[in-house]
Amino acid sequence: MGQEKSLYERLGGYDALSAVANDLLPRLIADPQLGRFWQHRGEDGVAREKQLLIDFLASNSGGPLYYTGRDMKLTHVGMRISESDWTIFMGHLGATLDAFSVPEPERGETMAFIESTKVEIVEA
């Protein structure tokens, strides 16, 4: 009996996570409420954030990448991310996963993992 594949492998590996980031970030940036977080960011800063997002997702889903960014609390402190912001973000994440037809249980595992970071991100 073989070893169960990691979530990273089941999601499709690096290319799939990169595609998710490429779909999700524009949704967040274009959102009327969430767009404020990117108002004064240049292209290079957004590209760096995208790479950190990919690395974070890959590292935490059992992939071979090592996340070198700051922890979630330090990264988001002072941004005043509210419960409402979080709800909108999770809606966009769900829409992105739907756009890629991510099946259950991978969709559920991904949403649950991201939800587990909420306590370190939401300030209000």
* 6-44 pLDDT, tens digit each: 999 999 999 999 999 999 999 999 999 999 999 999 999
Q: Which range, of 2-11, 48-57, 72-81, averages the lowest pLDDT?
A: 2-11
| Dihedral (CA of 100, 101, 106, 107) sign | positive
- Let me know how long the chain is: 124
Domain boundary assignment for the chain = 12-121
Residue type, 2: G
* 85-102 pLDDT, tens digit each: 999 999 999 999 999 999
Gap between the Cα atoms of 78 and 91, Å rounded: 23
Residue among 78, 60, 61 at smallest CA distance from 69: 60
pLDDT of residue 2: 62
* 112-121 pLDDT, tens digit each: 999 999 999 9
pLDDT of residue 3: 75
Residue among 40, 96, 43, 38 at smallest CA distance from 114: 96
DSSP letter assigned to residue 23: H
> 12-121: what fold?
Globin-like (1.10.490)
How many Å separate Cα 64 from the centre of its chain? 17
Q: Tokens representing 73?
A: 């609390």
In the predicted structure, residue 124 carries a pLDDT above the cut 90:
no
pLDDT of residue 1: 57
